[in-house]
Structure 1
Amino acid sequence: MIKVLIVDDSPSLRAILTKVLELAQDIQVVGAAEDPYEAREMIKKLNPDVLTLDIEMPRMNGLSFLKNLMRLRPMPVIMLSTLTQQGSPATLEALELGAIDFIAKPTSNVAAQLHAYAETLHQKIRIARQANLYALRTEKDVQQAPVSQHTQFKTSAVLALGASTGGTEALREVLVRLPQHCPPVVIAQHIPPVFSTSFAQRMDRICDVSVKEAEDWDVLMPGEVFIAPGDRHLKVVQKGGRLLCQLCQSEKVNRHRPSVDVLFDSLLPWAKQVSAGLLTGMGSDGAAALLRLREAGAKTLAQDEATSVVWGMPRAAVEMKAAEKVVPLSKVTMELLSAVKRP
């Protein structure tokens, strides 16, 4: 049984979340706190496995509480977020502080979609319970020699990455190590609309490379990173001798849009110039397409278990022998680039 503590200042939301969570046979709500101070005492008394945490609360906001919690008593946390342009930066900051995942706050009409919402929340709770809390903490301390600005890469090379749970912070560790002149990078991260925009802007501020949310007909250029928008598949196509981004809203693949499989499969015509990696995440999205890329001549890798928050997608890739190499997060950037260096 997974013991969950709800932390939210709204009595109605606490009631809705309790109702939703207790629909699961393997989840038990052991308590509900209206603010972080009450939560702190309940954590000591009830020893929950997973916390659901609101960001905006009286007396102490969720981010301040999360920062203290991760320093003093690390535990899996799911953030309750407003899926808006205003709410996304705070949620991304929560992931940076150590939260495992986030979900939209239930709305007043949640009853109409209760089954779908409950299924999503239950799955996130189960994943959080099994998550590796210390994966990113240790990797952020690993120092790597920067890639020389004199390193030359193959002219037509493309880097491709896929990630899900734990992916925003894993991608951050990969992208900040990229040199300004690196090959173009295309990314499929499972993330909702609006959040992908905020994530791309956040990465662009801290990286040497240019990072943006992909748009139709963006040209793949060295030193540029393109992140699939939430709820859109990202494909790479060729037009006029150039590789371009193309977005579509076709059916979900592996229950996801964007899907890593869709992105990786679109690169098959140019597989021999591709270096692709599958990072932390639940499920198996991207693993089958990574294998197809490898069989077509691409260089492939998967993040190792020790540094993955959730070793699902990379594990699937390893088990089907889709990854030539299995490496810790701190070495992903170097391995991706080494595969496309000029001799």
Structure 2
Amino acid sequence: MAQIDTIIASPSPVECRRLQNILEKEPDFRILAQARDLSQTYTATEALSPAIVLISQSFAALPEFEVMHMLFRVLDTRWLVIENGDACTPHLKITRNSDLFTIDLRSGGAGLVPLIRSVTRAQRRKMVPARPVRQSMPGQKKLVMIGASTGGVDALATLLSGFPTDCPPTMIVQHTRHSFGGSLIGLLDRQCAAHVMPAKDRMRLDPGTICIAAGGRAHMQLAISHAPQVRLVPSAPVSGHLPSVDAMFHSALRVAPRTVAVLLTGMGRDGARGMLELRQAGASTLAQDEASSVVYGMPKAAWENGGAQKRIPLVDMAAEILKAASMSGEEAKP
């Protein structure tokens, strides 16, 4: 009988104990670990690669669960949400494209074991080596800047998978908590042909380099000396965020004709003002369309204020960015 390796993730010792009592009666279940917060859940899942994670509803409702969900997909780990009686938050509903199932422990967990056996029955995918060989796109002339917030983790994974190994130098601001920035970057680096790395002060922006500021304590800005490089500038939040998309976009105004600015799914308006400034200075500007956005906030604001030249479906965004990056400033004008 195949073992079903399981991780229990809940802030409640009572909930963990109830789940453990149910599963320990079954000979084909093995509990690998119990996690009391989302960071512990991520670490245990990445290290132990369980067949399934039973995760508290309160964890699944956190914005940072986007990163957790991406790890589940990479490892082909199943997951079940354990309802605890709290009302579902709006963010939990955002997981509409996931393999979401729920179990209500208030009914004694009836049906939990058969459901776990059912969702783990299929053979798990083997891990595919990262960095597939991809055809490069000659003639790249520009720097790419991307801003994203809610829903951005999946959007970035989709977009960056379409970038070649020698993609244009790319700067990305993704709103997330500090503790999950490194995890997100590591996951994206596994999945992309180009090299994805955390933003570091004074790092060079060379072709094939994608640097991400996610949950940091400084704004990521562009500096131009002999070659473009990243500057990390500790400061107050801009447009309500640190790091801020607006702050990143504003730093590229001097080289706007050599910049492609992109806004992906996200709540709020961060990036909309900076995108408008860049467009007025000669940059190519793109916004994700409403149909493919999880939250049509940031891209909507950029479209409505005139900052975005085009609205692009997510599946077409990588190709559109690479096309814009290969054009001169005059060619890129609509």
Bin of the TM-score, shorter chain as denominator length: 0.5 to 0.7
Specify the alignment match of 1:317 in structure 2: 302
In structure 1, distance between residues paired with 2:51 and 2:134: 41
In structure 1, distance between residues paired with 2:18 and 2:233: 42
In structure 1, distance between residues paired with 2:212 and 2:195: 11
- Whether 2:278 is the aligned partner of 1:293: answer yes
- Whether 2:189 is the aligned partner of 1:225: answer no
Specify the alignment match of 2:12 in structure 1: 10
Q: 2:135 aligns with which of 132, 136, 149?
A: 149
In structure 1, distance between residues paired with 2:280 and 2:133: 28
C-alpha offsets along residues 194-215 of structure 1, whole Å, 9 cap, x if unaligned? 3212211221122110110010
Aligned residues: 256
Q: 1:194 aligns with which of 179, 190, 196?
A: 179
For residue 203 of structure 2, give the secondary structure of its aligned residue in structure 1.
Answer: coil
5+ unaligned residues in a row in structure 1: which ranges?
Answer: 1-6, 15-32, 39-52, 70-75, 82-86, 100-121, 138-145
The CA deviation at 1:164 is 0.5
Specify the alignment match of 1:237 in structure 2: 223
Counterpart AA for 1:133: R
Specify the alignment match of 2:61 in structure 1: 78
Asked if the contact 1:8–1:35 (Cα under 8 Å) also holds between the matched residues in 2, the reply is no
- Whether 2:49 is the aligned partner of 1:64: answer no
* TM-score, structure 1 normalization: 0.64
For residue 149 of structure 1, give the secondary structure of its aligned residue in structure 2.
Answer: coil
Q: 1:162 aligns with which of 106, 127, 147?
A: 147
Q: 2:96 aligns with which of 109, 133, 158?
A: 133
Counterpart AA for 1:325: K
For residue 133 of structure 1, give the secondary structure of its aligned residue in structure 2.
Answer: helix
In structure 1, distance between residues paired with 2:177 and 2:269: 19
Specify the alignment match of 1:253 in structure 2: 238
Rg larger for: 2
In structure 2, distance between residues paired with 1:295 and 1:95: 40
In structure 1, distance between residues paired with 2:37 and 2:73: 13
In structure 2, distance between residues paired with 1:195 and 1:187: 15
Asked if the contact 1:136–1:169 (Cα under 8 Å) also holds between the matched residues in 2, the reply is no
The CA deviation at 1:134 is 3.8
In structure 1, distance between residues paired with 2:171 and 2:219: 12
Specify the alignment match of 2:331 in structure 1: none
* TM-score, structure 2 normalization: 0.65
Q: RMSD value over aligned CA atoms?
A: 4.0
In structure 1, distance between residues paired with 2:161 and 2:140: 21
Q: 1:207 aligns with which of 188, 192, 210?
A: 192
The CA deviation at 1:153 is 2.6
Percent of pairs with identical residues:
35
* Residue 136 to residue 88, structure 1, CA distance change in 2 (3 Å): closer
The CA deviation at 1:180 is 1.1
Pairing 1:87-126 to 2, within 5 Å after superposition: 90=68, 93=71, 125-126=89-90
In structure 1, distance between residues paired with 2:239 and 2:20: 37
Asked if the contact 1:164–1:279 (Cα under 8 Å) also holds between the matched residues in 2, the reply is yes
The CA deviation at 1:307 is 1.0
Q: 2:315 aligns with which of 323, 326, 330?
A: 330
* Residue 125 to residue 255, structure 1, CA distance change in 2 (3 Å): farther
C-alpha offsets along residues 226-245 of structure 1, whole Å, 9 cap, x if unaligned? 10142221000112x21110
Counterpart AA for 2:151: G
For residue 162 of structure 1, give the secondary structure of its aligned residue in structure 2.
Answer: strand
Asked if the contact 1:54–1:62 (Cα under 8 Å) also holds between the matched residues in 2, the reply is no
* Residue 260 to residue 339, structure 1, CA distance change in 2 (3 Å): same
The CA deviation at 1:309 is 1.1
C-alpha offsets along residues 177-197 of structure 1, whole Å, 9 cap, x if unaligned? 101121100000012223212
Counterpart AA for 1:234: M
Specify the alignment match of 2:45 in structure 1: none
